[in-house]
């Protein structure tokens, strides 16, 4: 069964450092998303990406964040200068293009720890 994969599973970084989180969405999906979940809190939307451009972003997704689809399979989230409050689980999700297929399938997540 196709699945979304994410690497690394756990990333520890120092405040101010840049991190890149990687995702491989399901192969025939065309909508891609990043969400985050701070420990004990709800899952929050960060950004959606379609047709090689950002289609929507949340207030959280400020200038420190960027996304890219560098090739036909990977989808990345970059945080330029990490802050302590960026510590969270980051989930990638994807969904198909068809009008009725709004289900989003999530990856296992990357746990980001900023020290």
Partner 1 sequence: QKEVEQDPGPLSVPEGAIVSLNCTYSNSAFQYFMWYRQYSRKGPELLMYTYSSGNKEDGRFTAQVDKSSKYISLFIRDSQPSDSATYLCAMSAWRGIYNQGGKLIFGQGTELSVKP
Q: Which residue has the tokens 């400020």?
A: 62
Nearest to partner 1 of 81, 113 (CB atom): 113
Here's the x/- map for partner 1, 28-67, by CB under 8 A: it reads as ---x-x-x------xxxx--x-xx---xx-x---------
* Residue 100 DSSP one-character state: T
Q: Select from 77, 109, 112, 114 the one that contacts partner 1 (CB under 8 A).
A: 109
Q: Which is nearer to partner 1, 16 or 23 (CB)?
A: 23
Give the list of residues 6+ apart from residue 74 with CB closer than 8 angstroms, or none. Answer: 22, 23, 24
Are the beta carbons of 78 and 67 closer than 8 angstroms?
Answer: yes
Distance (Å, whole) CA 96 – CA 34: 15
7 lies in the site for partner 1, by CB under 8 A: no
Residue closer to partner 1, measured from CB, 22 or 111: 111
Least distance CB 4 / partner 1 (angstroms): 8
How many whole angstroms separate alpha carbon 71 and alpha carbon 13? 26
Q: Which two tokens stand for residue 90?
A: 């980051």
Query: Under the rule (CB under 8 A), what is the footprint of partner 1?
Result: 4, 6, 31, 33, 35, 42-45, 48, 50-51, 55-56, 58, 89, 91, 93, 95, 100, 102-109, 111
């Amino acid at each position: 069964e196709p699945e979304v994969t994410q690497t690394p599973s756990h990333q520890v970084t120092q405040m101010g450092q840049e991190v890149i989180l990687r995702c491989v969405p399901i192969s025939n999906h065309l909508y891609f998303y990043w969400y985050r979940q701070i420990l004990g809190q709800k899952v929050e939307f960060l950004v959606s990406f379609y047709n090689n451009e950002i289609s929507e972003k949340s207030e959280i997704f400020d200038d420190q964040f960027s996304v890219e689809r560098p090739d036909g399979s990977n989808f990345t989230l970059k945080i330029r200068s990490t802050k302590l409050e960026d510590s969270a689980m980051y989930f990638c999700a994807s969904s198909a293009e068809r009008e009725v297929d709004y289900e989003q399938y999530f990856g296992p997540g990357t746990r980001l720890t900023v020290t």
